Amino acid sequence: MSETWFAPIRAYCERGDAGFWAEPLNALSNGAFLVAAVAAGWQALRSPRRDAAALALAILVGIVGLGSFLFHTLAVRWSLLADVIPIAVFIHAYFFLALRRYFGLGTVAATGITLAFAALNIGLEPALDAATGRSLAALTNGSIGYVPALLALAGFGAGLLLPQGCALGPARRQAGRALLGIAAVFAVSLAARTGDARLCAGWPLGTHFVWHILNAGVLYGLVTVALRYRARTA
């Protein structure tokens, strides 16, 4: 069992050996998550109503950066979990918060829809693999797992732009446009993540570090949109 947990993983182009600093750009670019966490957390603390949900998400952004740093330095199976679990927690926590804060759903309804979204995340890749007869994770360098999050983000943005005929209209539209912009940045970051392996031959450094930098901006943007929306609708 210990051999399994400590089995080395070479997941990205930059890693050429098993050394701690074999992925310097991928490792150090995680500092962007820490900067994003501090900036978002500071805004949450300065909010007049002390937005606890936004502060928790900001802390989670920092944990995402630390977990990713562990994976891109140690590159073993247990550190992979330290990388992917905080990201998954952030995605589903924000999904739940979006349903509650932007669309006014109750706790029970938001929880049920979030659980259904989690089931979609788990089942989409195997279903697509079975339908196509190919491993989409291999074809996309694992990026297929983030497609539901991208679609959800774009869907939330579009949903907030639908006419509501209420006093919260301007705040909804501002949040909707912001979420659609963030979704566009997320799509570019996913492209960088996906292209890492394909560009290896001509660009040994890879492009995964671009995913880190852009994704840090995505997470920061999501937290600040939630903060501003609450402030405008309180």
Higher pLDDT, 162 or 55: 55
Has residue 17 been placed in a domain? no
Question: Based on the structure, what is the number of domains in the chain?
Answer: 1
Has residue 1 been placed in a domain? no
Q: By C-alpha distance, which of 19, 3, 14 is closest to 204? A: 14
Question: Could you tell me the residue range of the domain that residue 40 belongs to?
Answer: 30-233
- Tell me what the mean pLDDT of segment 183-212 comes to: 95
- Distance between CA atoms of residues 95 and 87, nearest Å: 12
Has residue 18 been placed in a domain? no
Helices (H), 1-46: 2-5, 24-28, 31-46
- Tell me what the mean pLDDT of segment 17-24 comes to: 94
Has residue 69 been placed in a domain? yes
Q: Are 127 and 144 in contact (CB under 8 A)?
A: no
Has residue 213 been placed in a domain? yes
Torsion of CA 15, 147, 67, 14, to 10 degrees: 10
Specify the 3-state DSSP secondary structure of 8. Answer: strand
Q: Around Cβ 231, how many Cβ atoms within 10 Å?
A: 14
- Tell me what the mean pLDDT of segment 167-193 comes to: 94
Q: Find the distance separating the first CA and the last CA of the chain, reported in whole Å.
A: 52
Has residue 9 been placed in a domain? no
pLDDT at 1 > cutoff 60? no
Side chain identity at 35, as an amino acid letter?
V
Has residue 48 been placed in a domain? yes
- We report the CATH number of the domain holding residue 51 as 1.20.1070
pTM here is 0.95
Has residue 19 been placed in a domain? no
